Structure 1
């Protein structure tokens, strides 16, 4: 009888090992996806508060630029560096934080990065020369850059794909609050206390954000990280202990990756024994392990990632160009001060906030509908169907904004168009960001940080060329050009919706 039971158990084990496991659903102890909703919401609130730093860091400073220039005797080129370098570094540095988070976990990255940002704010507030301020703006950007990409990865740790769009939409509201409220807060602080008050405000805010992360329960699980598993398989100085046949690791493949990973799970029991200590191999952090180039190459090896990231970068470049040139237009043509400019740009911010929530929730609805219809034949690309409906309106409103400004129409028309542009633009972006996470199982942090890198580079270029193009073409010509770029970006998204699954399967073959 005992022999028969052992044979049946062996047969079940073999059958389980033949089942391909998605690395996102590898069995782990204290699975964050099984936490209570209340506990998840607390984590979301904590990372949302921290994500506000990224938006505030750039926009809070803008109203103080003229005072900084006068007080520190800075040239226009030096002031430009305090803005453009912040955008460039904030976009590029997340790939480093991402690589560290995939080895050491999310918590340590949150604590270190926000502390770095706080230090940069304090020294910036005390700076006596423009060179010190430029350096501290770079340090601010390094620290503020981590939360957006790591925060998206944290949501992937917590939620299943059918819920991610909604949560991503809510989460994206946080960094969007910065560009919306930053100019107003910055204008009030600058007029009341001087430009240094903007950095003291940000230093206090970031310092307060550090406190909850001290008690933060890390959502990272090494069994679900391709980067960690790759490091685990590297030859070590000490030979690994021999494993019995029953301990043979199950092979896991990630979507959109040719890297095979091994996850040590008890396939016969199906669930981890929570009362037993973890037996995972400890991996010591090394520069080679945190090399950001390797995971970035792995992400960019998939054509669907390259195409969707380019589309995302174009949308971000448009947003940055719009907010930057709108400030100049409202100041020079409509003769608005910093506070009035901030209040006018709130219309774009409110539209973006609404688009983030609606777009994320609607993309989840579409994904659930498509999975119910197609079952096991479903794919992450189905989420992108939600972007097809707002697409025809985006180029129209982009061009409308340019010509309304060109003809000096009443500011109420500008506010309406800014609101609709923000709503439509971020409705599409929230769906594409959720897709990037879904299509890169086991590499969500690396994928989002790669996306952030391209967005930062595009924002840097947009900031550098926006004013020359505005002076040369006028607002009408500039945003007619951007309308054409939006059509290209939308066609790229449609291309991923149509061919993305085939590209992923080829990359994974």
Structure 2
């Protein structure tokens, strides 16, 4: 039986195309195993913990020397970079996950904290509410597209480098936003700060996948998404209090302080987790001194253009049903999140309610509780589903570890989410 099996080698985080190829090869090699002669015992474990305790051995993390650490200013991290990120102990993994979760909330915090201040901004900058709303709309538009580039560059430059660069830019662009003298300046600076803050939306999921194995990844992803989901509901309360007490500029000043604190945490506590890839073999280096200046300019221009265009190649994966369903479901969920946030402020601040800014902010507490509970319990539920399906199909590696497939996470989840979402929207309307 052992001769019929080939050892499966899981690749590290690479580019998207390589990841798909590796996944296909893995599926082709995995076979369900049954029968008395099977190396896998004929037993169904009662829990993930029981299965893990029998089949997983404690591994030791081997830190890299200071000079060998990757990423921007990597030698200054308190948590050392290790050769295999899976080998971090759970306490360290959770600390890194919490940092990523809080950092991922920056983009949503930057939009939702501004909701209670929209009316005051329109008066202060002598413009209409419709034009003022553009500062929020374009901020979210930048949040939607820039993760394409951040995620692509993170595969080349590393997660840590992208985090430090993006949060530095976020602070730089947030300062002019707070001192804007007209609506045009505010809109431009908000677009730039929104694009900078959106890096963790894509790169953060990569960090979580780097350090957590598939059997535990659902719970970790649930925690990492809890803060971005709850942020848009909590920060309007802060925004309302700041706007009423110190004016609308204080909300943007809060973002500068918030971004600075996160930058310090990332700088000292978030090492590089991207798997190191061996360089591809290449031919002899061409003699650059024989190239003309025009050729060098063309080559550099081509590289720059490729860096701008290449991220759009990931859109090709939308032709796969499983991916388009996942993306569409997430788009509907996050889209409705922001629509409801705006509608709460608009509807309840107007007659017949006439709530003040603090009262409007308190209305966001109910959905915050729902997001928090769903994130924590949903992650554990997803881990259970993937474990259940792997045991049911009896998918094992040669070393008796269960094989988890990504599509196992959907199952009944997609139907539960669709029905509950529809019922909730009807109830709210």
Check if 1:341 corresponds to 2:355: no
The TM-score with structure 2 as length reference comes to 0.72
Pairwise CA distance, 1:105: 0.3
Structure 1 residue 146 corresponds to structure 2 residue 160: no
SS at match of 1:366: helix
Among 371, 379, 384, which residue is 2:405 paired with?
Answer: 379
- Aligned twin of 2:214: 161
Aligned CA-pair RMSD: 2.7
Distance 1:236 1:328 in 2: 63
Q: Does 1:60 align with 2:113?
A: yes
1:49 positional shift:
2.2
Corresponding residue number in structure 1 for 2:388: 369
- 237, 260, 271: which is aligned to 1:217? 271
- Residue 79 (str. 1) matches residue 132 (str. 2): yes
Q: Say whether the 8 Å CA contact 1:154–1:220 is kept in structure 2.
A: yes
Distance 1:391 1:188, change over 3 A: same
40-49 or 381-390: which moved more? 381-390
- 1:377-411 Cα distance to aligned partner (Å, 9 max, x none): 86322211241445433322321221xxxxxxxxx
2:248 corresponds to: 195
- Identify if the C-alpha distance between structure 1 residues 344 and 294 changes in structure 2 by more than 3 Å, giving closer, same or farther: closer
Q: Distance in 1 between matches of 2:274 and 2:86?
A: 11
The 1-side partners of 2:137 and 2:9 are apart by 44
Q: What displacement does 1:298 show?
A: 4.7
> How many Å apart are 1:71 and its aligned residue?
1.2
Counterparts of 2:250 and 2:372 in 1: how far apart (Å)? Answer: 27
2:341 matched to which residue of 1? Answer: 323
CA displacement at 1:106 relative to structure 2:
0.2
Tell me by how many angstroms 1:175 deviates: 1.0
Quick one: distance in 2 between partners of 1:81 and 1:132? 12
In the alignment, is the contact (CA less than 8 A) between 1:54 and 1:178 conserved in 2?
Answer: no
- Deviation of 1:189 (Å): 0.7
Contact kept in structure 2, 1:103 and 1:289, CA below 8 Å? no
- What's 2:39 paired with? none
TM-score where L is the length of structure 1: 0.61
The Cα shift of 1:335 comes to 1.7
C-alpha contact (below 8 Å) 2:233/2:365 kept by paired residues:
yes
> Distance in 2 between the 1:368 and 1:131 partners?
52
Distance 1:62 1:117 in 2: 19
Q: Does 1:356 align with 2:356?
A: no
After superposition, give the CA deviation of every residue in 1:188-243 in whole Å (9 maximum; x if it has no partner): 111111111111111011011111222221011133xxxxx8xx54966628xxxx
Q: Which runs of 5+ in 1 are unaligned?
A: 1-11, 224-228, 240-284, 403-509
Structure 2 CA distance, aligned partners of 1:299 and 1:111?
29
> Does the alignment pair 1:23 with 2:77?
no
Asked whether the equivalents of residues 348 and 360 of structure 2 are also in contact (C-alpha less than 8 Å), the reply is yes
Residue 238 in 1 paired to residue 285 in 2?
A: yes
Question: Which position in structure 1 is the counterpart of 2:331?
Answer: 313
CA distance in 2: counterparts of 1:165 and 1:378, whole angstroms: 11
Larger helix proportion of the pair = 1
* 2:427 alignment partner in structure 1: 400
Whole-Å separation in 2 of the counterparts to 1:48 and 1:393? 25
Q: Deviations over 1:24-81 (max 9, x none)?
A: 499x971101111122122112212212212210011111111211111123342121
How far, CA to CA, are the matches of 1:15 and 1:367 in structure 2?
A: 26
> Within 1, Cα distance between the matches of 2:421 and 2:386?
22
Q: Which SS does the other structure have where 1:385 is aligned? A: coil
Matches within 5 A, 1:102-113: 102-113=155-166
SS of the residue corresponding to residue 30 of structure 1 reads coil
Return closer, same or farther for 1:341/1:311 CA change in 2, 3 Å cut-off: same
SS of residue matched to 1:100: helix
